[in-house]
């Protein structure tokens, strides 16, 4: 069984609550801003995780979290190239880190990323049951998978607590444009800080702005400001809001630049690219209305464009034979729709029976149409 939907319709807390009460095991995939997070669940526990910060980013993580120096990383990268192994295996083979050190660092980072998913941001989810096989996950290969042991009840309580805490932080910092000064003489021992806090301090030391840190760490503004507020409480940093200079600002903000770039894509009919940029803007400022309003308008425009290609009364029929379908390696959502073409339903009816959103159903049908898998009658 598979369930697909929007996080704005069914928030993550409701979805995980349902998974917990029904004692289901399966895979939960969340997509947002063009990134994908996967949680493997078994009887009320999160037993495995993959996320964007663990893909092609391991070197940055171990350096900015203080586990290794850049020179250490260069040595590991040379070993990786010479022996054709993953960076993870290279770090262990060079005795730069132990499996326990790496696991502890990445598990802490994974938990922070999972908590971020509770923020009220646009996104899609797919939950599917899996066969009763052991969810034995190891951090390995290019698509790294991390084993976890996180109770869903704890996850729900911590997610709710952080949402409440964010409201208090936002009252203090109504603007995301903040100045942060590091007090190096007051910094506690690096090993006592969380992985995310260490990475934020490293980015600040490199002169990055808060919004730059968000994009580099793939973390939303609430998560970064929350970590900065925790550092401020121990006098490791001081934070001050930048006064809004209104129309006298010499250059546009990051959000404004994102919206301008998205509008260019929107005017060119590149709606997926425009939506991705606007979702980043919403992620950076989840409680600001303008990015959300522009995102809603663009989604409506894209639906209109999709319906111009796929009128609701048209009936999609299969153009490729089964052998041809096998060679295409259809994705699960594409196979779902293909399997229902035998009922001769029109586009409007397919949208009604599909467990995907209206937009995703139409996009999937358009891919099948352009790929020659279906024709419209």
In a structure prediction context, what are the per-residue pLDDT tens digits for the chain, which is 377 residues long?
668 788 878 888 998 998 888 888 888 988 876 678 889 998 888 999 988 777 657 888 888 888 888 899 899 999 988 988 888 888 999 999 888 888 888 888 888 889 888 877 777 888 887 543 333 334 444 345 688 888 999 999 988 888 888 778 877 777 667 888 999 999 988 888 888 898 899 889 888 888 788 877 877 788 888 889 889 989 999 988 765 544 444 445 777 888 889 999 999 999 988 888 887 787 777 667 788 888 889 989 999 999 999 999 999 998 866 666 666 666 766 777 888 888 889 999 988 887 677 888 899 899 888 888 889 99
The pTM of this model reads: 0.62
Helices 221-233 and 99-116 cross at an angle (nearest 10°) of 120
CA 364, distance to chain mean position in Å, is: 21
Give the separation between CA 182 and CA 236, rounded to whole angstroms: 6
Q: What tokens appear for 331 in the block?
A: 């994705």
């Amino acid at each position: 069984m598979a369930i697909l939907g929007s996080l704005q319709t069914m928030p993550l807390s409701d979805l995980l609550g349902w998974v917990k009460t029904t004692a289901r095991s399966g895979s939960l995939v969340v997509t947002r801003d063009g990134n994908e997070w996967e949680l493997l669940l078994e009887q009320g526990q999160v037993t495995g995780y993959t996320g964007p910060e663990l893909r092609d980013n391991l070197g940055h993580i171990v350096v900015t979290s203080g586990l290794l120096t850049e020179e250490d990383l260069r040595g590991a990268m040379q070993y990786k190239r010479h022996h054709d192994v993953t960076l993870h295996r290279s770090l262990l083979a060079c005795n730069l880190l132990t499996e326990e050190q790496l696991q502890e660092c990445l598990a802490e980072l994974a938990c922070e990323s999972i908590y971020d998913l509770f923020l009220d941001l646009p996104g899609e989810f797919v939950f599917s049951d899996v066969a009763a096989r052991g969810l034995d996950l190891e951090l390995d290969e290019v698509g790294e998978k991390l084993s976890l042991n996180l109770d869903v009840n704890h996850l729900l309580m911590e997610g709710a607590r952080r949402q409440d805490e964010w409201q208090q932080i936002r009252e203090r910092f109504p603007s995301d444009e903040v100045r942060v000064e590091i007090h190096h003489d007051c910094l506690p021992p690096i090993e006592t800080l969380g992985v995310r806090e260490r990475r934020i301090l490293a980015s600040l030391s490199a002169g990055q702005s808060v919004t730059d840190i968000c994009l580099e760490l793939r973390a939303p503004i609430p998560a970064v400001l929350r970590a900065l507020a925790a550092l401020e409480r121990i006098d490791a940093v001081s934070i001050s809001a930048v006064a809004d200079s209104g129309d006298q600002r010499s250059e546009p903000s990051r959000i404004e630049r994102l919206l301008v770039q998205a509008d260019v894509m929107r005017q060119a009919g590149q709606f997926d690219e425009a939506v991705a940029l606007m979702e980043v803007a919403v992620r950076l400022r989840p409680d600001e209305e303008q990015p959300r309003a522009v995102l809603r308008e663009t989604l409506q425009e894209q639906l209109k464009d999709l319906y111009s290609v796929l009128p609701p009364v048209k009936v999609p029929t299969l153009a490729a034979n089964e052998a041809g379908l096998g060679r295409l390696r259809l994705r699960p959502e594409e196979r779902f729709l293909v399997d229902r073409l035998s009922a001769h339903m029109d586009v409007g009816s397919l949208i009604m029976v599909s467990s995907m959103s209206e937009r995703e159903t139409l996009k999937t049908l358009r891919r099948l149409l352009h790929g020659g898998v279906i024709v419209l009658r």
